[in-house]
């Protein structure tokens, strides 16, 4: 999967350099900022709905497969690198905090956890929680990837809505500010006199 992504970026580097830049930036955004940042960058670059969802899902699957593998291999002592052991301990600590809440609801709980647009509720921690709950790999990854797909679709729809209706939202916010200022004009005058 990583080789395919590298090949795609190199291909676009020669054919359409701006697209190669976007694909690379979206990967960095997913790695350090999460799926909302990746979706936003895709929308800003003009990537269509289907390609936006497909590319962002592909990146999340790639990241989960890599981190889940490192986690499991490190936990089972197949990997002995200090960075992998430290990485595994950090993931274990984060996942353990949420494990009990998810355990009651099983697959659906894991799906909703991954889908939630909150910090530390993404697919990486979700897959680790699934592992700690001893879910078989297919149940674990199906909940994680379907939750991720759902979240990405929600982000794409929300960002597109905001982009298309930003001018209306600006007027609405302006009206709210004007109303608040009108009703608090005496208080505001008191601050300057």
What is the rounded CA–CA span in Å between residue 146 and residue 150? 6
Work out the mean pLDDT of the chain and round it to a whole number.
84
Residue ranges of alpha helices (H) inside the chain are: 2-15, 17-32, 35-44, 49-75, 82-103, 106-115, 123-132, 137-183, 185-192
pLDDT of residue 108: 92
Kindly list the domain boundaries of the chain, sorted by start residue.
2-94+148-192
> 23: pLDDT confidence band, cut at 50, 70 and 90?
confident
Of 192 and 183, more confident: 183
- Residue 148 pLDDT greater than 70, yes or no: yes
pLDDT of residue 191: 63
pLDDT of residue 138: 94
pLDDT of residue 146: 95
pLDDT of residue 80: 79
> What pTM was estimated for this model as a whole?
0.76
């Amino acid at each position: 999967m990583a080789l395919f992504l590298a090949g795609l970026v190199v291909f676009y580097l020669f054919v359409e350099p701006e697209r190669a830049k976007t694909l690379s930036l979206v990967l960095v955004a997913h790695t350090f900022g999460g799926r909302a940042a990746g979706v936003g960058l895709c929308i800003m670059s003009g990537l269509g709905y289907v390609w936006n969802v497909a590319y962002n899902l592909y990146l999340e699957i790639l990241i989960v497969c890599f981190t889940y593998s490192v986690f499991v291999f490190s936990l089972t002592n197949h990997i002995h690198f200090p960075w992998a052991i430290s990485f595994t301990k950090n993931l274990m600590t984060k996942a353990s905090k949420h494990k009990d809440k998810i355990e009651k609801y099983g697959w659906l709980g894991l799906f909703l956890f991954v889908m939630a647009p909150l910090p530390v509720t993404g697919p990486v921690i979700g897959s680790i929680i699934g592992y700690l709950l001893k879910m078989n790999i297919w149940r674990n990854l199906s909940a994680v990837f379907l939750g991720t797909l759902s979240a990405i679709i929600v982000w794409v729809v929300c960002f597109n809505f905001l982009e298309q209706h930003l001018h209306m939202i600006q007027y609405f916010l302006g009206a709210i500010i004007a109303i608040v200022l009108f009703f608090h004009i005496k208080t505001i005058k008191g601050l300057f006199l």
